[in-house]
Amino acid sequence: MAIATAILVGLLGLLIYLLVKYPDRSIGTKPRTDLNGPKGLPLIGNLLDIHKNEKGLIMFVYETLMEYGPNATYTLPGMGRIITINNPECLEHVMKTNFEGYIRGKMFYKLLHDVLGDGIFNTFGNNWRMQRKLSSHLFNTKNFREIIYDVFEEETKKMLNILDNFAKSGKSLDLQDLFFRFTLDAFGKITFGMDFKCLTNPDNPVQFAKSFDFTQRVLGNRLENPFWSITELFTKEGRKMREECKYLSEFGNQIIENRRNDLEALKNPKDVVNLFMNARKDNGEKLTDRELRDIVLNFIIAGRDTTAQALSWMMYNLMANPSIEEKLVKEVNSLLSEENPISSYEIVKQFQYTQATLYEALRLHPVVPDNFRVCLKDDVLPNGIPIYAGELVNWCSWAIGRDERVWGKDAKIFNPERFLNSEDGLKPNQYKFSSFNCGPRICLGQNFATMEAVMLTTAVLRQYKFEMTPGQKCPPDYACSITLPMKNPLLVKVHHRCVAEVQTADNQTLM
């Protein structure tokens, strides 16, 4: 009894000590009186602030930055102290100038590992460099001309046929789901030489896609739950997560096994799977099947999710802004015709207003909205703010895109002209417009995604007009995920454009 009492008193004393030491921040963090930020609760910091926010971490970071300035701080248990850097100069320092001094860190590696493993999105150092170097072979000019364009054209024709059927039937369709099907089919053919048949059977659910979407939602939830590794052991979501990860792992392994057994496909020197299967690491060894599987799944998230989500947000904004849609259609009609209804490789870059509209959608709805890096060694940002080893640096591209200090007073307004009228034009400063990431980790597939989106958008809008079905929330909510999908289906009615709208106007110019 005396021992139990002593233990209880000791624990109570420890608790009081911790409450006094960490009165407004998470346990294990040092005070930063030199930085502004919302005060937290003892031991758990700002965890409840995030959970009280209906839109989670992204909106919490945005509201924190709007209230406390371009740099602010908050704390979370398990993550420690987090310092936001909502200005281009600081982001350039972290992602370029001192690139080696900031890494994803063990905590985030563990958080993402059961889905992304050691793929390019979840690794650093030599492994990342090797994967990036080999991946770059996919996106060379010759591949664009010989492989990528042909697949985009083929899949675009399938999309047009599906839309034609919906226009004739008058039924509503989920445009976001259709974009996911398009990008998965296209990327599967280009990268792995396989057809997922998502557009061939547009009414049938795609098990791989369902599993992939579920696991990403769970990864998003983990960012807001520092105790996920414990709670997932006992929850229904945790059990389902383990099942879906097993399915994805088996799916990736099957791609590798099928390739090893396909002697004809193994001869294709441009296939990404072949590139990695034939590659050797610094020690001279070939990649294991586990490593190849991780690479496959990372490629799919890059090729499927990001472009499909960008297209979804772009189409919503066009429906919400008819005058912008009218200008885009004028550009389309000036470059496409009944004889040439799909853009050729040579003229894709001429769709400048369309590309600007895509970039504007990505500015406000970046497909990777939130990023974190761990500081390895004490550092000082260009604005004089010290970052201490072990502290996290966070930038939220979703928040940056809405920040008037970065984009001007019309930051929250959808305005493609900002990319046409600025000094940077259609090559914006990557540390200001970080939707394709930035620095050495800038997206290798930026031109790939842009071509895919522009080809599909222009072909579709030349023939069809979309109308949101009543009763949907505008603007749509985003889902909790590591990327930025819409939370609910984007339900639309499809209409054929009238003859006057689709006629080629030889002398039309954008206003």
Query: pLDDT (tens digit, 9 = 90+) per residue, 275-288?
Result: 788 888 778 888 88
Residues 402-457: pLDDT tens digits?
A: 999 999 999 999 999 999 987 777 889 999 999 999 999 999 889 889 999 999 99
Strands 80-85 and 392-396, sheet pairing: parallel
Band (pLDDT 50/70/90 cuts) for residue 22 is very high
Q: Which of 42-56, 273-287, 302-316 has the lowest mean pLDDT?
A: 273-287
Q: Residue 139 pLDDT more than 80? A: no
In angstroms, how far is the first alpha carbon of the chain from the final one?
Answer: 85
The Cα 83–Cα 379 span in angstroms is 13
Binding site, annotated residues for heme: 443
Residues in the chain: 511
Residue 391 and residue 83 in contact, taking contact as beta carbons nearer than 8 Å: yes
Binding site, annotated residues: 443
Render the burial of 352-367: b for 16+ CB within 10 Å, e for the rest. bbbbbbbbbbbbbbbb
Q: What is the mean pLDDT of residues 227-231?
A: 94
* DSSP labels, 287-319: PPHHHHHHHHHHHHIIIIIHHHHHHHHHHHHHH
Q: What is the mean pLDDT of residues 31-55?
A: 93
Q: What is the mean pLDDT of residues 198-204?
A: 89
Strands 71-76 and 80-85, sheet pairing: antiparallel
pTM exceeds cut of 0.85: yes
The Cα 138–Cα 142 span in angstroms is 9
Band (pLDDT 50/70/90 cuts) for residue 206 is confident
Q: Is 123 helix (H, G, I), strand (E, B) or coil?
A: coil
Residues 90-116: pLDDT tens digits?
A: 999 999 999 999 998 899 999 999 999
Angle 466-469-470 from CA coordinates, rounded to 5° = 140
Q: Where are the domains of the chain?
A: 21-116+371-400
For the chain, what is the mean pLDDT? 90
Of residues 295 and 387, more confidence is placed in 387
Strands 102-103 and 464-468, sheet pairing: unpaired
Token pair of 489, please?
């289906």
The Cα 461–Cα 438 span in angstroms is 31
Q: Residue 4 pLDDT more than 90? A: no
Q: Which of 159-173, 180-194, 368-382, 405-419 has the lowest mean pLDDT?
A: 180-194
Q: Residue 39 pLDDT more than 90? A: yes
* DSSP labels, 357-411: HHHHHHHHS-SS-EEEEEESS-EE-TTS-EE-TT-EEEEEHHHHTT-HHHH-TTT
Of residues 336 and 302, more confidence is placed in 336
Q: What is the mean pLDDT of residues 124-132?
A: 87
Q: Residue 83 pLDDT more than 90? A: yes
Residues 310-361: pLDDT tens digits?
A: 999 999 999 999 999 999 999 999 999 999 999 998 899 999 999 999 999 9
The Cα 375–Cα 105 span in angstroms is 9
What is the phi-psi region of residue 194: left when phi exceeds 0, alpha when psi lies from -120 to 50, beta otherwise?
A: beta
> What pLDDT sits at residue 511?
31
* Residue of 59, 132, 31 whose CA lies nearest to 370: 59
Q: Residue 370 pLDDT more than 50? A: yes
> What pLDDT sits at residue 330?
97
Residue 254 and residue 296 in contact, taking contact as beta carbons nearer than 8 Å: no
The Cα 370–Cα 448 span in angstroms is 22
Render the burial of 369-402: b for 16+ CB within 10 Å, e for the rest. bbbbbbbeeebebeeebebeebbbbbbbbbbbbb
Residue 191 and residue 272 in contact, taking contact as beta carbons nearer than 8 Å: yes
